[in-house]
Amino acid sequence: MIDSLPSHPWPELQPGWVWLCGAGPGDPGLLTLHALNALRQADVIVYDALVQEAILDWAPQAEHIYAGKRGGKPSAKQRDISLRLVDLARAGKRVLRLKGGDPFVFGRGGEEAQTLVQHDVPIRIIPGISAGIGGLAYAGIPVTHRDVNQSVTFVTGHDQSGNTPGSLDWRAIATGSQVIVIYMGMKHIARIAGELISAGRPLSEPVAVVTTATTEAQQVLETTLGTIVDDIDAAGLEPPAIICVGRAVEMRQVLDWQAMAAGAAPRNLDPLGRGRPAESA
């Protein structure tokens, strides 16, 4: 089956192994070739809520086991998932653990991998495109831009108990990073926006909320820190969402390539007010 991939020394998924693999943010076209190679060889795929059905359809030979957990709820079942992977591997299966985005970005992939290794199960890690980068790109938002930011901070809006992470120093984040990308931020957005504003970020600071990014249901809300809570309500937006705080959001005025795919003409604007051609140093 793997012959239909381009010629390359593709690794073989051996019985008794578990490959922890990122499925990307949604669009099946954002899978890596290593992910496709894995999908074609797996006997069993243990997948999360954020993995699109269309991707599983590419592995009709495999048994598909759903191991979804709803974001923010206590992860009581995490141990069960990890141990199930151990059992499947010990039963001699070729196991593919498929997780949304990148397995090592807010995905508990590190914990699962460690449990497997502790139980003598050999692993391979296949990175994926994380929603906080690829999802924003699908909204026309570059996570870095020389005129905006020299750093970007990825933050989770929940901790293991479902609360805003008490250990996060929001003041340091607010003052230290021009662009802040928030995963799992919808539930506590009022609190998060309040923290950023009280740390000195302006009420007028641009914010984008991108829900079900890269899928056909993708929605993008452009708002500000001061109006985000009302605007999310008014638009009826639901998780999963990536929230991007910072002037990078303004680049969407020029880089909304999905609008172009839908027929809009390219717009020659200067959203960051550079007053000079984009290519000049």
* Nearer of residues 101 and 206 to ligand SAH, judged by Cβ: 101
Site residues, ligand SAH (CB under 6 A): 25-26, 50, 71, 99-102, 105-107, 130-131, 135, 183-184, 210-214, 239-242
Q: Which two tokens stand for residue 162?
A: 């479902």
Q: Which two tokens stand for residue 146?
A: 């020389």
Min dist CB 102 to ligand SAH, Å, is 4
- Is the CB of 93 or the CB of 136 nearer to ligand SAH? 136
- Of 48 and 250, the one with the shorter C-beta distance to ligand SAH is 48
Nearer to ligand SAH by Cβ, of 47 and 93: the residue is: 47
Buried b (16+ CB within 10 A) or exposed e, 114-126: ebbeeeebebbbb
Minimum distance of ligand SAH from residue 46's CB (angstroms): 15
- Active-site entry in 27, 102, 184, 256: 184
Q: Which residue's CB is nearer to ligand SAH, number 93 or number 252?
A: 252
CA angle 173, 180, 143 (to 5 degrees): 140
**Tokens standing for 223?**
């708002």
Kindly state the smallest distance separating residue 251's Cβ from ligand SAH, in Å: 18
Strands 95-99 and 123-126: unpaired
- Find the shortest distance in angstroms from Cβ 76 to ligand SAH: 17
- Least Cβ distance, residue 14 to ligand SAH (angstroms): 25
Residue nearest to ligand SAH (CB): 101
Choose the catalytic residue: 27, 48, 102, 256: 48
CA distance 251 to 167: 32
Say whether 223 sits in a helix, a strand or coil.
strand
Active site residue 184: yes
Q: In what order do the strands lie in the sheet with 44-47?
A: 63-66, 44-47, 95-99, 18-22, 123-126
Residues 6+ apart with CB under 8 A from 252: 139, 140, 141, 208, 220, 222, 271
Catalytic residue among 43, 69, 187, 231: 69
Residues known to be catalytic: 48, 69, 184
